[in-house]
Amino acid sequence: MLTRLLSNDFPRNRILAVVLVGLLLALAFMPFIFPGVKALNVAAKILVFVVLVASFDLLLGYTGIVSFAHTMFFGIGAYGIAIASTRMGPGWPAIATGLAAALALSFVLALLVGLFSLRVRAIFFSMITLAVAAAFQTLASQLSEVTGGEDGLTFKMPEVLSPGYQMSETPFLGVMLDGRLICYYLLFFTALALLLAMLRIVNSPFGRVLQAIRENEFRAEAIGYRVVVYRTTSSILSALFATVAGAMLAIWLRYNGPDTSLSFEIMLDVLLIVVIGGMGTIYGAAIGSGVFVIAQSYLQDLLRLGSDTASGLPWLSALLSPDRWLLWLGLLFVLSVYYFPTGVVGRLRAMRQRA
Amino acid sequence: MSLLATRDLTIRFGGHVAVNAVTCAFQPGTLTAIVGPNGAGKTTYFNLISGQLKASAGQVTLDGRDLSGFSVSQRTRAGLGRAFQLTNLFPRLTVLENIRLAVQATREGGHRRGLNLWSVWSDHRGLIARADEILAAVALADKENELVANLPHGDQRKLEVALLMALESQVFMFDEPTAGMNAAEAPVILNLIRKLKEDPRKTILLVEHKMDVVRELADRIIVLHNGTLVADGAPAEVIASPIVQEAYLGVAAQNASAQDGTPPHPGVSPRRERGEQP
Ligand SMILES: Nc1ncnc2c1ncn2[C@@H]1O[C@H](COP(=O)(O)OP(=O)(O)OP(=O)(O)O)[C@@H](O)[C@H]1O
Ligand SMILES: [Mg+2]
């Protein structure tokens, strides 16, 4: 049963398994462990990133394709929900329509990008995706009639997912069963299902061909696989998963703008997470997202604390100023790449092999 | 039945003609040895047949069908199988995964076009059984879970040939299959080729420097020299011909017993290639 669910791809390391189960349980019971608004926001962001990063891992870690257009698909998903909810009014039909339209657009764009540019050398492909992503970002800001331009769109969700909705008058385990909670669990189960689906895909016969292409494209073609077809399929799948991640984000935030879902900064975050977590493992996406989003969200608080206690030493205080969080995050990244070049997951798995 | 033929097959690299108007047909049930000094164009000839290089002129046909418009993978699916002179594997996958990928690429494997996304790789028992069979034949069964990158050179060479065996091709092209193998490893591969020869439907092309091997296995020898086909015929006849005696075989024969697969030749500096460790 578990073997089926995990597609016979177990964590293969005890610490890794414990961390993963811990993360799963923490996310599953988050609203009951830390009932605060911020904690729930952080948890929801982790859920969105798990899907987004895993979908990028499918592309980078499994197929060896370096694309910078990944946030474009993320943005398409978020805009799909945002635009449909604004135009059609809040409700499930708007969500369904927005998601369907976004998936269709992502499919077509990924297909086009794949067919036109996966034949060229890897470096040119990466540059093309960069250009396409930049063009799309500009387009989204320009079309303010539809997308709300730089300001973005604020919209409402169906009744059950709104904060105002109460499932029962009496709190359960000290927590109000409101629309936010329902929305959180919608995200939780969606993320879990999508993660398991991606785990299945990378462990299918198709997934092994992707790895073969990553390892040696020349030989994969020589034993009879049509490399372009596999690569294009991988790009499309990855784009579709990213689109759903975008939709999840919009549903949670009830807002979407260029900075929330299309910015290049998100692309960088995704790259960092995939490298920190461990490329080509899928589990790395989960661990990396957890570590990264928590660090990103609480590093500033931690620094403020440190800065205040170190107020006697002006230079240390300045170094620990919350504005320096990016510096510390960068340092964290450099250290982790230096000490865990294969990512957290790769490192843990290697440990077991030596033991 | 497959009949592989090349007509006026030519490729130029700048001004250098690496393969020069080679016309030749290969019959099923025959093993043709292709010999010639380093740089004669043997590997390039294979590259033209299997599609890695596009011919400047001439054609490759299989059963009378012109393969000019065929991609590499299409040619493989049409029945042209090839093992490479330079080991060419999937390094960070296991030995079993390497072979299974080749098994899966066949018609029998069923996943050739099948973008089979939703089944679990390890559930395909039939494909694994077939892969195990092939691994046993090349004496690699005990290493099936090792990463290819960690294998010694000789084992990688064996796996290289095993990948070709898994493909169930009509035409088998071996490019110095035993080069760099030790005395224990080479016979494993030669036995595989002997076994393959028993099948009257298979067409086998073998590039080989070791003349004792060629003498034993070949039904026919063709000689390439500076990209041109200079001799073609029964082994005894070709080996005895003056052009071969002086241009190539005289020296090669002396070296035939040496373990090294690439003996030196007069006027041609022994060209060591990447990955060809002694
Ligand atoms: N892609 C290429 N670009 C330029 N020159 C090439 C290319 N491939 C092969 N050559 C040249 O073509 C000639 C034939 O090379 P080839 O590898 O076919 O020789 P070979 O007969 O296989 O030799 P060996 O016995 O050493 O394997 C050589 O002079 C080589 O330098
Ligand atoms: Mg050669």
DSSP A147-214: H-GGG-EE----GGGSTT-BS-SS-BTTB--BHHHHHHHHHHHHHHHHHHHHHHHHTSHHHHHHHHHH
Give the residue on B whose Cα is nearest the Cα of A196. Answer: B118
Query: What is the span of the domain harbouring residue A338?
Result: 13-354
In terms of Cβ atoms closer than 10 Å to its own Cβ (0-12, 13-18, 19+), residue A186 is middle
For residue B121, which residues of chain A lie inside 8 Å, CB to CB?
7-8, 203-205, 207-208
Would you say residue B84 lies in a domain?
A: no
pTM of the model: 0.90
CATH code of the domain covering residue A196: 1.10.3470
Put simply, the answer to whether A208 touches B104 (Cβ < 8 Å) is: yes
Q: What is the CA radius of gyration of chain B?
A: 19
Total domains in chain A come to: 1
Residue at which a domain ends, from B120, B153, B168: B168
Q: Is residue B150 part of a domain?
A: yes
| DSSP per-residue string spanning A60-126 | IIIT----S-HHHHHHHHHHHHHHHHHHH-SSHHHHHHHHHHHHHHHHHHHHHHHHHHTTS-HHHHH
Q: pLDDT (tens digit, 9 = 90+) per residue, B51-99?
A: 999 999 999 999 999 999 999 999 999 999 999 999 899 999 999 999 9
Neighbours of B150 (CB within 10 A): 13
Q: What CATH number does residue B74 fall under?
A: 3.40.50.300
In a domain, B108, yes or no: yes
Asked, for residue A8, whether it belongs to a domain, the answer is no
Classified as helix, coil or strand, B265 is strand
Q: Are residues B38 and B176 in the same domain?
A: yes
Say if B118 falls within a structural domain.
yes
A297 touches B: beta carbon within 8 Å: no
Nearest Cα of chain B lies from the Cα of A22 at a distance, in angstroms, of 26
Q: Within this chain, do residues B103 and B161 fall inside the same structural domain, yes or no?
A: yes
pLDDT value at A114 more than 60: yes
- Whether A221 is in a domain gets the answer yes
Calculate how close chain B gets to A138, using CA atoms only, in Å.
35
Tell me, yes or no, whether B85 lies in a domain: no
Same domain for B226 and B272, yes or no, is yes
pLDDT above 80: residue A212? yes
pLDDT tens digits, A213-226: 999 999 999 999 99
For A39-95, write each residue's pLDDT tens digit. 999 999 999 999 999 999 999 999 999 999 999 999 999 999 999 999 999 999 999
B221 and B266 share a domain? yes
Q: How far is the CA of B27 from the centre of ligand 1 (A)?
A: 26
Q: How many domains does chain B have?
A: 2
Distance CA B191, CA B197 (A): 10
Q: How far apart are CA A103 and CA A97, in angstroms?
A: 10
B241 in any annotated domain? yes
The verdict on B132 and B256 lying in the same domain is no
A7 in a domain, yes or no? no
> Are B3 and B65 members of one domain?
yes
Low-confidence ranges of chain B (pLDDT < 70): 1-2, 108-115, 246-278
Same domain, B75 and B155: no
- Pairs of CB atoms within 8 A across A/B: 103
Quick check: ipTM above 0.85? yes
Q: What is the extent of the structural domain holding B155? A: 90-168
A256 is a domain residue? yes
